[in-house]
Structure 1
Amino acid sequence: MLGGKKTAVACGLALVSLVAMGCLSPQPSGEEKDAGPPGALSGVMYSCPGGMTRDDFFIWVSPEAIVETFYYPESPPEGMGWPDLCTKEDVPITAEQWADVEQVVMELYPLMRPEPEPSLWDRLWDGIGRLSGGVLDGVYSSSITCIWKTEAGEQRIAYSKPDDDRIFTLVALLRELADPIGRDIPRYTPPVLCGIRMEQSGTLFSKAYVFALGRDASAPEGEEAPYTYRARFSRFGQPPVRLRQQKVPAALWEDFAAFAAKIGLEGQTTALWEKPCCTLYYADGSHKRKKLDKETAAQIREYLENLALQLLEE
């Protein structure tokens, strides 16, 4: 058995070498944005492995029932010890309970992005982990899967957890369905987007740029032009463009906000230091840094560059 594990690891290391030398290369995966849900929501699966915290939780819920769930109860029934995992199947739920879950999922849907297909590296290391008896990477991350009823039949899509507080509402609803103890369900009002900043320092192979469009915090209520915009960028073969900060009407921001919603800007993943990225500002004073895929970054740049050129011509 030990020899088999050594062989598996050796084969894995050989594959790593092939990848490093370019003999095997991960295939790029395109990312498409959905115009809307692919069908009617007919089920939700949520999984949160707890690891050493013994907080494992899984639920599969349909409009009629909890198909399956397992969890560690908050208050174990008499005779059940803390280490015991509770499981249930085919537990009926009410139409109101399903409607509550469905409403939150549909509110979050514009921010939910399908999980990408595992890369060659992911499959390689997962295979080594299985063969050598190790633990797979990512096993402690939670996941949400929506089951859609489409014209072509049932479709299951796994999504990344959206960067929005309403995910806590959904998780609390699902935990209360599985383990009804009278939890207080938190409710959140989504913050209103009111600004964006996108910038990049110049390098040997790329030009510097900065775009800053958003609400002027010092503008009094009711002002006709409560937003400001400034931009600095270069286009290949053309002189640099600079738009000094100037006030712009609310209608201009509303047009951009509609464009941002159309391309799924707020659904982009949270960024640390990755580039390209942008910072989104909200009316409640919060902000989020978003990593942008190449297509989205190019769309935003084109929009903001054209806007600056239009304002300079006026």
Structure 2
Amino acid sequence: MAVSAPALAYGIQLPVQSQSTLYTERWETEAGPEDLVAVARAVDRAGFAYLAVCDHVAIPRRLAPAMSTVWYDPVATLAHLAAVTERVRLLSHVAVVGLRHPLLTAKQYATLDHLSGGRLILGVGAGHVREEFEAVGADFERRGAVLDESIDALRAALGPEEFPEHHGKLYDFAGLGQRPRPAQPHVPLWVGGSSPAAVRRAALKGDGWLPQGDPRERLPAQIDRIRRLRADRGPVGPFTVGAVTEPLYVGRAGWEVGRRTLTGAPEEIAASLRAYRAMGVDQIQVRFRSRSRSELIEQIEAFGAEVAPRLS
């Protein structure tokens, strides 16, 4: 008897909380906390595996026209949304952990995991805005090396020990207690980025990979590299391969949604998305085209009810 492959998990990067011109819809510029909560609740009801938020401390004036300066703090935002949702997991995509000492990051995210009943997925990345690093006294040039050690330090600081211990080149701590501890015995740590260094870091140090802008045709080679690196490393635990899909619109829009948008009947969209599973992807991150909060929630509900059951 044939055994079907597991269904793709599906998550979403939330609107409103980050407003880069690359993906923000017009209605988001006037939206606020009530809209964010309404969308998060819809995501929770629709069976999404996670909701995700981004991290930037401050945007330099030279980048503000493209990136905007609207970037809600990820810990505060996820904590707020944890209180108004029930089961959906909470992902930082991604926390720029090099901007903060690992003990500070661990304190914030351990508390979030504790308060949410163990729903945290900690996504981490190297960052890319030089001025942001300089403003807080962080090392921009060595941010890759900082991230490598930060991951090790966070493994210790988010583990079961009340007094975590880490001795490295950049960070050294012991005999310092932190409670509350995370509710999860092991907080999943997913690594973001698509450069060769980021992919290697994800394969060797992470529990999952969050690609950054890889089109479909690039994914098989990236996934194959991850598999080879992990095989060479030896026995390791579970690993979650992610992908960011094209923009989606379930049904016929009746308005211009852009040539890259995947649109059509639920079965058509599901058939296209199942190709990600065939590549070796475990979870997809989706984003819907919309003209209002209500249209976005309709899209979320349609995806959960009509597309998601067809993803196996």
TM-score range, shorter chain: under 0.3
Task: Compare relative contact order (CA 8 Å, sep 6+) and give the higher one, 1 or 2.
Answer: 2
Query: Which is richer in helix?
Result: 2
Point out the structure with max Rg over C-alpha: 1
The TM-score with structure 1 as length reference comes to 0.18
